[in-house]
Amino acid sequence: MRKPEVLSPAGNLEKLKFAVDFGADAVYLGGKLFNLRAKAGNFTLEEMAEAIEYAHSRGVKVYVTLNAFARNFDFKAIEEFVKEVKELSPDAFIVSDLGVLSTVKEVAPEIDVHISTQANVTNYRAVKVYKELGASRVVLARELSIPEIREIKERVPEVEIEVFVHGAMCMAYSGRCLLSNYLSYRESNKGACSQSCRWKFYLVEETRPGEYIPIEEDSSGTYIFNSKDLCALPLLPQLIEAGVDSLKIEGRVKSSYYTAITTSVYRRAVDLLVSQGKEAFEGELPLLMEELKKVSHRPYTTGFLDGKEEILQHYESSSYIRNYKFLGIYREGFWEVRNKVEVGDEVEVFLPEVKSFTAKVEKIEVLKKGKLQETASTNPNQRARIYFDRELPLAEKAILRKRVGVTAGV
């Protein structure tokens, strides 16, 4: 079985390092302009240079998103951005707009071009056209089934195929939505989407202005545009057999913890399938799925991939399910604390190879001015030694987390 790339989101420099350290083959990131995640931290040129050096030194590729839809007045800035970024030697630009594609080919012909899912490529003829225009990879529309993906790869085998396998989904066709533009004056196709589809809506009858009629199935309401989250992990064998070259995880605005866990799970799954086969993968699938339920998510769906009729909207709530809190990461013998940890906490330690162990915190020593001080709790942004009620196989980049059993709004 051929080995596809695990492609992870990098919303900022820390998230990029988490993605690289937890097993990504490649990451995708954006500059401060012209990408479709304006609310991600994104990268200055200096940060992008550091990110690319960090990734490349560890054998990981970096793709720069340039996938906003441009207007006439954007092109001077786009050309300047491409000139500056090409000097940093990224592995590809990701584009949606044909004008942007032609600009990248003129200004940086030595850099590969990937066609974004925003271009909503749904057939092999479109893939052939993009190949003729100089693209080396196409990120297919999320509306396709695995048989359709297989046929595209068979008909245009020389073009790499990338498919989203995990993360948030848009209720609009290939994410090309205008709700945000009209309801909050934030342009979704330039990265500033306010997720208006997740809001709670009411009906107003034209002769009764000001009289709001709730849309509801029960007292909690009905979120009629609110999409479930994609999780294609159970379909990984079929996707790889179909010839998919890159498995893409959504989530540049998600947390570093989300990046680490999802990257680890898909890394482990791909390695299992390729080295040990489908039976070994299916044996670990319940454990891997359980890990994906421990990150921020809405109810999962396999989307359109398996071709089955399924309700893709979640009507009860637009809230995320967040059952675990990220407490810290283990580096160089200390825990780098991100959320408060206290003696007596029941915790889990997650290792990068997708193994987790439960324990109880028995003692905490905080590092202050080079000296360890015993304390009953530790707050964020501290380095500490944490002792547990059992011996754990701690490893570099182990993650500490705690079950909290709550949901939180979008």
Query: Helix (H, G, I), strand (E, B), or coil: what is residue 338?
Result: coil
Domains of the chain: 5-173+229-299 (3.20.20.70), 322-408 (2.40.30.10)
Query: Helix (H, G, I), strand (E, B), or coil: what is residue 10?
Result: coil
**Is residue 140's pLDDT more than 70?**
yes
**Is residue 340's pLDDT more than 90?**
yes
| Stretch 121-141: mean pLDDT | 97
**Is residue 409's pLDDT more than 50?**
no
Tell me what pLDDT residue 91 has: 98
What are the structure tokens assigned to 353, written together?
Answer: 């190879």
Q: What percent of the chain has pLDDT over 90?
A: 70
Task: Evaluate whether 285 touches 233 at the Cβ level (below 8 Å).
Answer: yes
Tell me what pLDDT residue 180 has: 60
**Is residue 158's pLDDT more than 80?**
yes
| Stretch 315-328: mean pLDDT | 77
Q: How confident is the model at residue 408 (pLDDT cuts 50, 70, 90)?
A: very low
Model pLDDT for residues 194-236, shown as the tens digit of each residue = 666 666 677 787 888 887 766 665 555 566 677 888 999 999 9
Average pLDDT of the residues of the chain: 88
Give which of 99, 161, 75, 102 is closest to 126, Cα–Cα. 161
Q: Report the range of poorest mean pLDDT among 38-47, 157-166, 262-271, 338-347.
A: 38-47
pTM for the structure as a whole: 0.86
d(CA 167, CA 230): 5
For residue 69, count other CB atoms closer than 10 A to its CB: 20
Model pLDDT for residues 15-71, shown as the tens digit of each residue = 999 999 999 999 999 998 776 555 656 899 999 999 999 999 999 999 999 988 889
Q: In angstroms, what is the C-alpha Rg of the chain? A: 22
**Is residue 391's pLDDT more than 50?**
yes
d(CA 385, CA 330): 9
pLDDT greater at residue 239 or residue 301: 239
pLDDT greater at residue 37 or residue 141: 141
pLDDT greater at residue 144 or residue 410: 144
Q: How confident is the model at residue 242 (pLDDT cuts 50, 70, 90)?
A: very high
d(CA 160, CA 42): 26
Tell me what pLDDT residue 311 has: 62
d(CA 5, CA 102): 26
Model pLDDT for residues 76-98, shown as the tens digit of each residue = 999 999 999 999 999 999 999 99
Residue 310 CB burial class (10 angstroms; 0-12, 13-18, ≥19): exposed
Tell me what pLDDT residue 64 has: 97
Q: Which residue has the tokens 């302009």?
A: 33
Residues 6+ apart with CB under 8 A from 49: 88
Q: How confident is the model at residue 321 (pLDDT cuts 50, 70, 90)?
A: confident
